[in-house]
Amino acid sequence: MQLSEQELIRRENLGKIRELGIDPYPPIHYKVNTLASEIKEKFEEDSKEFEEVCLAGRLMMKRIMGKASFAELQDSSGRIQLYVMRDEVCPGEDKTLYNTLFKKLLDIGDYIGVKGYVFKTKMGETTVHVNELVLLSKSLKPLPIVKTKKDPETGEMVTYDAFTDPEMRYRQRYVDLVVNPQYRKIFKTRAGIIREMRRFFDEKGWLEVETPALQPIHGGAAARPFKSYHNTLDMDLYLRIANELYLKRLIAGGYDGVYEIGKMFRNEGMDRTHNPEFTSMEIYVAYKDYEWMMEMVEQLLHRITVAVLGTPVAKVGEREIDFTPPYRRLSMMDAIEEYAGIDIRGMDEEALRKVCKDLHIDVDPSMGKGKLIDEIFGEKVEPHLIQPTYITDYPIEMTPLAKKHRTEEGLVERFELFVNTSELANAYTELNDPLDQRQRLQDQLKLAERGDDEAMALDHDFLRAMEYGMPPMSGLGIGIDRLTMLLTNQSSIQEVIFFPQMKLEK
């Protein structure tokens, strides 16, 4: 392993620290009693609240000034200035802690702990006057150079020249979060979205459950799976592309409502809205239909948006997305007619292929009616769907697990919610007729024989569960990553996933 000059210097410093008899990685319970942000928000000069503080974090700046120095400590909440006096941290004759350890051997990025009291400098900077300093962990690699300056209007320290290469940021998220702490807010918002979603469902008495991530049959969605092999069972297994069929089994088992928030895996392409590993929420509620589900989704998204943003309006790029109900509803056929100028109702596969050719949409021989319609919709309609819009009533060929439309022949009771040109949610009035379901899954097998590697498999156990009796229900899936993108104003899914999938590092 070839080391840089800075890495060599840090290893030399590590050795010198050990020669001083100081453990650079001490086993310690450091009793932190406050955070940088709490001090900066609450400190008042006549207050006695912060007379004895204890903080821990990374050393991010040193300004040596002889017997007294300034430094900056960054903890999980932000940065705060430190004032370190030699005779305060080294009250006796031995000044090694200050003269050697602090001045010469501590590097930017080292973890330190400090105790002291809070005051304000003549410049008005809230500062911790340090009377005890300990090394908690020595860093051996230098952090990327980060510069800060004070915003003249807000007085806040602003970071610039930081870790900006997206590929490096995603590969080394641990560095990204240190030198670009503003990105931590994205993941705090993400956690808030999931927390509020759980709260909403739990208040209604629906049960959070867990279903298998390794499945013998990939089902519940049209997607290409990841394939694995189990040695003991001597059988192929698949990482789940959806948890739908297991959740429906639980409804058949007697629960009125079940939901799961978890990872799904699809062996597909990657772009700004797709990652092969993503987080999805799926919920199924007995005795409901897709009309009820549309109203429930509106209530849910409005509540989440207000909870995490304080307003139902989210800023997305230059747009403002309003999650206030009700949302526009438009059938798929009407949407294609409105935006593509073509009425495809009643067209067979050959006619749809001609439409795709006329519209310069690339298709292949494996695509059946459903896929062809989906290609037309994706090319000509999706780019126009900015504000929350329900696209409803899909062709039966596109949705093998949804119930036939109660009034429209050849359609199913399904909706997708589109926001800012991307699908955010997918829901059905669920099919609970086992004979109809068996036939539709057999039709999927025919598509697979034609080369459609996203066609659904035939799950005999799921059909058996349906034959025991499955109540009417509605089901919904929401992409947590895409919802987080919307509510944090991010254009790339990689920004809202801590560790997105990437090619192997060279």
Section 290-318 average pLDDT: 98
- Alpha carbon 173 to chain centroid, angstroms: 14
* CA distance readout (Å), 212 to 127, 238, 339, 406, 456: 52, 10, 41, 33, 18
Helix (H, G, I), strand (E, B) or coil at 54: strand
Average pLDDT over all residues of the chain: 94
Q: Are 452 and 465 in contact (CB under 8 A)?
A: no
Section 147-170 average pLDDT: 78
Region of poorest pLDDT, from 294-303, 333-342, 447-456, 482-491 = 447-456
**Residue 45 banded pLDDT, cuts 50, 70, 90:** confident
| pLDDT tens digit sequence for 242-281 | 999 999 999 999 999 999 999 999 999 899 999 999 999 9
Among residues of the chain, what percentage have pLDDT more than 90?
83
**Residue 346 banded pLDDT, cuts 50, 70, 90:** confident
- Report the pLDDT value the prediction gives residue 163, as an integer from 0 to 100: 81
**Residue 161 banded pLDDT, cuts 50, 70, 90:** low
497: Cα within 13 Å, side-chain hemisphere: 24
Res 447 pLDDT > 90: no
β-partners of residue 331 are: 392
| pLDDT tens digit sequence for 69-105 | 999 999 999 999 999 999 999 999 999 999 999 999 9
Contacts (Cβ under 8 Å, ≥6 apart) of 100:
16, 20
Section 21-45 average pLDDT: 95
Res 313 pLDDT > 80: yes
* CA distance readout (Å), 243 to 249, 261, 497: 10, 10, 20
Q: Are 475 and 247 in contact (CB under 8 A)?
A: yes
CA gap 395, 333 in Å, rounded: 9
Res 146 pLDDT > 70: no
Region of poorest pLDDT, from 220-234, 300-314, 330-344, 444-458 = 444-458
- Tell me the whole-structure pTM to 2 decimals: 0.91
**Residue 506 banded pLDDT, cuts 50, 70, 90:** confident
Res 228 pLDDT > 90: yes
Res 38 pLDDT > 80: yes
Res 149 pLDDT > 90: no
**Residue 57 banded pLDDT, cuts 50, 70, 90:** very high
Res 339 pLDDT > 90: yes
Residue ranges of domains in the chain: 5-143, 185-327+387-496
N- to C-terminal Cα separation, the chain:
14
| pLDDT tens digit sequence for 172-181 | 999 999 999 9
Query: For the domain bounded by 185-327+387-496, which CATH number is listed?
Result: 3.30.930.10
**Residue 448 banded pLDDT, cuts 50, 70, 90:** confident
| pLDDT tens digit sequence for 363-403 | 988 888 888 999 999 999 999 999 999 999 998 988 889 99
Section 284-294 average pLDDT: 98
Q: Are 210 and 262 in contact (CB under 8 A)?
A: yes
**Residue 222 banded pLDDT, cuts 50, 70, 90:** confident
Q: Are 198 and 204 in contact (CB under 8 A)?
A: no
Section 150-176 average pLDDT: 82
- Report the pLDDT value the prediction gives residue 145, as an integer from 0 to 100: 73
β-partners of residue 70 are: 63, 83
Architecture of domain 5-143: Beta Barrel (2.40)
Sheet holding 328-331, edge to edge: 207-208, 257-265, 277-286, 473-479, 422-429, 411-419, 389-395, 328-331
